[in-house]
Amino acid sequence: MQYILEDVINGILMGSIYGLAALGLTVIFGVLKVINFAHGSLLMVGMYVAYWAVILTGLHPYLALVIVVPVMFLFGYFLQDIVIKPIFKAEKAVREPITVIIVTTGVWYILDNLSLLVFGPQYRNLQDNPLRGKMLEVGGMLLSVPRLWGFFAALLTALAIYLFFQKTRTGRAIRATSIDREAASLQGINQYKVYNVAVGIGTAAAGIAGVSLVPFYNIFPSVGVLFDIKCFIIVVLGGLGSIAGALLGGMIIGVIEYVGTQFMAATWTEAIVYGLFLVFLFLKPSGLFGVKYEW
């Protein structure tokens, strides 16, 4: 019992990274109203981009953000433009085109296996990066330094995205489109351009999550699959489209994993997370902070 504080704090730190990973998903989900099954793959791409950026330039992983963020933004922008936009165009009247789910699944299969072909199945690691293995000792508790960095990255990214949506013209246009895309386009907003930017932002966020993971995680083609379902659970927990919700949802999951494992086998904490997910879906489907979503 005396370890509870240490577990909760560590859970919050790792959970904030989960939240960061889910941030991109909640933005895309909230704006486009589609389930993006390729999100885990985007995270994987982000990790590979971060990995290669550090290897080729020798930069500190967080400095590599300068490369990762624009690359991922453009990647997401064009992914939406080329692959997903045609479906939106075809299904103008439908509020939630379900076929996009299939397309994103196709993207997932393609991205994961393309990276298997190109990069090979082996596990890569940033062995000698400055953050590896560093721990902070605070009052008898051991806190993981790379995860601490991830925590701050998550907060800053969330803040940045929030400010973007509130203060900038494009941000407001995105919010308008997410509420009612027909009305927004009547106001002169190019909804497709809005979607492109939204997906770009979401993908860039996945890239940042990737950067915060590479200092201590393995990089391999199917790494995205591990995070995929977890991100969906977090998004539902926190509320569709809610940035604060994604972070909070991630932290809750993190705490459950860390604290729960002390009392039961790690395999059962998985079941608990699913259980919690279902409870939220039924009792409070809009999540902790979500906008009331009409059924």
Partner 1 sequence: MGRNTIRIGPLVLAGVIALGLPLAVRSVTYLHILVLLYLYAYLTTSWNLVGGFAGVLPLGHSAFVGIGAYTSTVLSLQYGISPWIGMMIGGILAAIVGVIIGLPTFKMRGAYFALATIAFAEGIRVMVENIDNLGPIRLNGPRGLQIPPLNTGLLNFMFATKEPYYYIILFMLAGVLLLTYAISRSKLGHYLVAGGEEPEAAMALGVNVARAKLIAMAMSSFLTAFAGTFWAQFTLYIHPKSVMSLDISFEIAFIALIGGRGSIAGPVLGALLLRPVTDFSRIYFGGKLPGLHLIIFGVVLILVMIYQPRGLQEPLTRAYRSVTKKLFGHTEAA
Partner 2 sequence: MRERSICWKAYVCVLAFAFVCSMAFLADRPALAQPKVVKVGNILPLSGPSASVGQQNKNSQDMAIEEINAAGGIKSLGGAKIVMFYADSESKPDKGVAEAERLINTEKVNVLTGCWNSAVTYPTTAVSERYGIPFIVPVSVADKITDQGFKTVFRIAAKDSWWTRDQFVFLSDLQKEFSKKVSTLAFVYENGDWGKGFASGWNKLAEQGGYKVVMDEPYPSTATDMSPLVQKIKRANPDILLLVSNAADAILITNTMAEYMVKPKAIIASGGGHADPSFLKAAGKNARYIFDIVEWETDVNKPGAKEANEKFKSKYGYNLAGESVDGYIAMYVMADALERAKSLDPKAIRDALAKTKLAKGPGMIVGYDAVEFDATGQNKYAALVMVQINDIGKGMERITVWPKGARRAGYKPVFPSP
Residues 13 to 32 in contact with partner 1, rule: CB under 8 A: 29
Residue 106 CA to residue 189 CA, distance in Å, equals 29
Neighbours of 281 (CB within 10 A): 13
Q: Collapsing DSSP states into helix, strand and coil, what is residue 142?
A: strand
Out of 97, 146, 207, 249, point to the residue binding partner 1 (CB under 8 A). 97
**3-class state of residue 59 by DSSP:** coil
267 belongs to the binding site for partner 2 (CB under 8 A): yes
Quote the CA–CA distance of 120 and 220 in Å, as a whole number: 8
Q: Which of residues 210-249 bind partner 2 (CB under 8 A)?
A: 216-218, 220-222, 225-227, 230
Pick between residue 105 and residue 185 the one whose CB is nearest to partner 1.
Answer: 105
Pick 10 or 41: Cβ nearer partner 2: 10
Is 220 within 8 Å of 124 (Cβ atoms)? yes
Distance (Å, whole) CA 41 – CA 47: 10
β partners of residue 141: 138
8 A C-beta contact, residue 173 and residue 188: no
The least distance separating partner 2 from the CB of residue 168, rounded to whole angstroms, comes to 33
Q: State the nearest-atom distance from the C-beta of 217 to partner 2, in Å.
A: 7
**Least CB distance from residue 261 to partner 2, whole Å?**
4
8 A C-beta contact, residue 49 and residue 72: yes
Residue 160, classified by CB atoms within 10 Å of its CB into exposed (0-12), middle (13-18) or buried (19+), is middle
> Closest approach of Cβ 154 to partner 2, in Å?
15
Residue 109 as a binder of partner 2 (CB under 8 A): the answer is no
Q: Does 105 bind partner 2 (CB under 8 A)?
A: no
When CB distances are held under 5 to 8 angstroms depending on the partner's kind, the choice from partner 1, partner 2, none that residue 257 binds is: partner 2
Among 63, 119, 244, 285, binds partner 1 (CB under 8 A): 285
Q: Which helix (H) or strand (E) holds 225?
A: helix 223-238
Determine if 34 is a binding residue for partner 1 (CB under 8 A).
Answer: yes
Q: Which of 7, 36, 165, 280 binds partner 2 (CB under 8 A)?
A: 7
CA 75-159-215 angle, 5° bins? 60
In contact, 211 and 66? CB cutoff 8 Å: no
SS3 192: helix
Give the interface segment with partner 2, choosing from 62-70, 162-170, 200-208, 264-272 (CB under 8 A).
264-272
Binding partner 1 by CB under 8 A: which of 90, 135, 163, 183?
90
Q: Does 103 bind partner 1 (CB under 8 A)?
A: yes
Binding site for partner 1 (CB under 8 A): 29, 33-35, 83, 86-87, 90-91, 96-103, 105-110, 112-114, 116-117, 121, 221, 229, 232-233, 236, 265, 267-268, 270-271, 274-275, 277-278, 281-282, 285, 293, 295
